[in-house]
């Protein structure tokens, strides 16, 4: 029995302690590894279609790479994209701890080093296994490192499928529409990843799309982190940044901008400080080779860097100015989310409109965005038309014509695709006309978190 000095706690205190213990147990169970595993499985099931398409894409891409030349041409060689090997060499430098040397003459890297950082673990694995690389001036017919590099680069690039599917689901696309979207987008990605070897273009686009979704949910820190990752992988997505910046609440803009710049400041600033002459020359000049690739009429404005190369700067500055103009338009009109997707497709197309020397993989990101925007419209006609146009533009991108003969059809096809994907006046913020079907999207009044409408 308790003594008089040892009084029992009151029933209310016991009840409070019991409730606290139950709450602790409940929180612990909710955060247990098993519950987290259930969440992961649930998320994977929700993205089962893009996951399946990615697996098929990698299998088909590797089969084409390894067997196309031996079976079709009777040649004992693999078809590997030449551009990826310079990125692969830069990944080795990152893995060796020499980030300042990623823009050396032996790498030929011309974009931000984010993709090289992501490939660095695979490069170290390849070196540990003693696999062979195909790097200028020694090009191998069957570089064994491709067995590691090929699947890794294809997985990184095709991960954009998850972002495309997430945006389509967020904006109300049906399951059938999302399935068709994934297969069409994978077809458009083939030449970018398997033939040319540029996973950074599509990976950065996917990260930017996820940033738009994070913005729509009011998650500003995540938005900035996603933009930071997207830009350091491929600064091409800066064409999309003005569209989102003007949609952010004023109190979140500084935070998003700082987080967006930070990764690039670290991974680009290090090579600039280590080797200013070489790094600045590569990043600021952006050389293109009209004798090899596909010149357009804008080459008349391009500065001559050498007897065989020109600078891409003026055309890309024009594209950036158009993107800023679209951002101002979005600030004034307050478009919905689907309107932002379409305006983003216009911004990405601007690069192809003003590029002095085109390379076929340049059309990949704008065509992917155009098909995404078209999939968000009612009916199948617009998406079918945009998909056919995108495939035609992909084929045209490989044809050698005169400057005007290449540029005019390309601009016409991209413009036709944008016309098919046109979301309507309401979606872009213009006054609604009679009998126009409103689009689902996100509006933002500039001071609060964006809200879904429609």
Average pLDDT for residues 345-367, to the nearest whole number?
Answer: 96
> Which phi and psi angles does 304 have, rounded to 5°?
-85, 120
State the pLDDT at residue 14.
45
Q: How far apart are CA 34 and CA 30, in angstroms?
A: 9
Say if CB 104 and CB 279 are below 8 A apart. Answer: no
Q: Which residue has the tokens 């993205």?
A: 47
Average pLDDT for residues 189-199, to the nearest whole number?
Answer: 96
Q: What is the pLDDT of residues 81-115, one digit of tens each?
A: 988 999 999 999 999 998 988 988 777 888 999 99
Beta carbons within 8 Å of 38's beta carbon, 6+ residues apart:
none
Q: How far apart are CA 319 and CA 70, in angstroms?
A: 42
pLDDT above 70 covers a percentage of the chain that reads: 87
pTM of the predicted model as reported, rounded to 2 decimal places:
0.87
- How much of the chain is helix, strand and coil, in % rounded to 5? 70, 5, 30
Give the residue, 9 or 194, on which the prediction is more confident: 194
Per the DSSP assignment, residues forming a β-bridge with 226 are none
Instruction: Give the CA dihedral 330, 336, 342, 347, nearest 10 degrees.
Output: 20
State the pLDDT at residue 4.
46
The kind and range of the H/E element at 451 are: strand 451-453
Q: How far apart are CA 148 and CA 132, in angstroms?
A: 11
In this predicted structure, the answer to whether residue 18 has a pLDDT above a threshold of 60 is no
Q: Convert 187-199 to b/e letters by CB count within 10 Å (16 or more is b).
A: bbbbbbbbbbbbb
Say if CB 210 and CB 226 are below 8 A apart. Answer: yes
Say if CB 171 and CB 441 are below 8 A apart. Answer: yes
Q: What is the pLDDT of residues 319-344, one digit of tens each?
A: 999 999 999 999 999 999 999 999 99
Say if CB 442 and CB 451 are below 8 A apart. Answer: yes
Q: Tokens at residue 450, please?
A: 């964006």
Give the residue, 429 or 366, on which the prediction is more confident: 366
Q: How far apart are CA 108 and CA 179, in angstroms?
A: 38
In this predicted structure, the answer to whether residue 454 has a pLDDT above a threshold of 50 is no
State the pLDDT at residue 249.
94
Say if CB 345 and CB 389 are below 8 A apart. Answer: no
Within a 10 A sphere around the Cβ of 32, how many other Cβ atoms? Answer: 11
State the pLDDT at residue 10.
54
Q: Tokens at residue 80, please?
A: 């590997």
Mean pLDDT (the chain, rounded):
88
Q: Tokens at residue 293, please?
A: 């690739």
């Amino acid at each position: 029995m308790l003594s008089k000095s040892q009084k029992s706690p009151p029933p209310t205190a016991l009840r409070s302690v019991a409730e606290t213990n139950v709450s602790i147990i409940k929180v612990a169970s909710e955060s247990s590894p098993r519950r987290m595993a259930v969440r992961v499985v649930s998320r994977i099931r929700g993205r089962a279609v893009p996951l399946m398409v990615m697996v098929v894409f990698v299998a088909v891409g590797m089969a084409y790479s390894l067997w196309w030349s031996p079976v079709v041409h009777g040649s004992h060689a693999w078809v590997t994209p030449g551009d990826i090997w310079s990125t692969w060499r830069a990944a080795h430098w990152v893995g060796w701890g020499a980030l300042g040397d990623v823009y050396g003459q032996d790498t030929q890297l011309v974009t931000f080093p984010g993709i090289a950082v992501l490939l660095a673990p695979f490069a170290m694995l390849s070196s540990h296994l003693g696999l062979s690389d195909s790097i200028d001036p020694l090009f191998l017919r069957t570089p064994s490192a491709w067995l590691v590099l090929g699947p890794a680069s294809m997985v990184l690039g095709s991960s954009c499928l998850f972002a495309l599917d997430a945006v389509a689901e967020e904006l109300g696309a049906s399951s059938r529409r999302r399935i068709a979207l994934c297969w069409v987008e994978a077809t458009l990605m083939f030449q970018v990843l398997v033939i040319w070897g540029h996973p950074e273009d599509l990976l950065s686009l996917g990260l930017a799309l996820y940033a738009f979704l994070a913005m729509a949910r009011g998650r500003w820190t995540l938005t900035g982190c996603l933009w930071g990752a997207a830009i350091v992988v491929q600064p091409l997505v800066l064409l999309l940044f003005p569209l989102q910046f003007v949609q952010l609440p004023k109190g979140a803009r500084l935070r998003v901008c700082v987080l967006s710049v930070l990764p690039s400041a670290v991974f680009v600033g290090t090579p600039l400080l280590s080797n200013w002459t070489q790094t600045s020359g590569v990043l600021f000049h952006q050389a293109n080779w009209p004798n090899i690739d596909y010149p357009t009429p804008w080459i008349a404005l391009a500065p001559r860097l050498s007897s065989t190369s020109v600078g891409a700067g003026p055309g890309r500055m024009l594209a950036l100015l158009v993107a800023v103009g679209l951002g101002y338009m979005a600030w004034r009109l307050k478009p919905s989310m689907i309107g932002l997707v379409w305006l983003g497709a216009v911004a990405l197309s601007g690069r192809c409109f003003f590029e002095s020397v085109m390379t076929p993989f340049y059309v990949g990101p704008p065509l992917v965005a155009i098909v995404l925007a078209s999939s968000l419209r009612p009916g199948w006609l617009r998406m079918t038309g945009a998909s056919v146009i995108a495939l035609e533009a992909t084929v045209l991108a490989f044809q050698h014509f005169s400057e005007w003969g290449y540029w005019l059809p390309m601009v016409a096809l991209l413009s036709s695709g944008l016309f098919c994907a046109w979301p309507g006046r309401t979606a872009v913020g213009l006054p609604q006309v009679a009998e126009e079907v409103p689009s689902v999207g996100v509006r933002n009044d500039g001071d609060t978190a964006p809200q879904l409408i429609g």
